[in-house]
Amino acid sequence: MENANVATFLFFVSLLGGGIKRAAENMEADILSIKLPDSVLIAPAVISNTTIPAFVKYDKMNIKAFAPDFVLTTGARINPKTGIAQDFPTPVTYTVRSEDGNWQKQYRVSLLQNTVSGNFVFENWTRTSEANYKTPYEVALGRQQNV
CATH level 3 topology of 25-145: Immunoglobulin-like (2.60.40)
Taking the CA atoms of the chain, what radius of gyration do you get in angstroms?
Answer: 24
Phi, psi of 127 (to 5 degrees): -85, 130
Domain boundaries along the sequence of the chain: 25-145
pLDDT beneath 70, residues of the chain: 1-7, 9-21, 114-121, 141-142, 146-147
Per-residue pLDDT at 78: 96
Is 133 within 8 Å of 125 (Cβ atoms)? Answer: no
Q: What pLDDT sits at residue 98?
A: 93
Give dist(CA 90, CA 82) in Å, integer.
18
| Residue 51: predicted pLDDT | 92
- The whole-angstrom separation of Cα 9 and Cα 2 is 11
pLDDT (0 to 100) of residue 87: 92
- Distance between CA atoms of 82 and 125, rounded to whole angstroms? 31
Query: Quick one: pLDDT at residue 27?
Result: 85
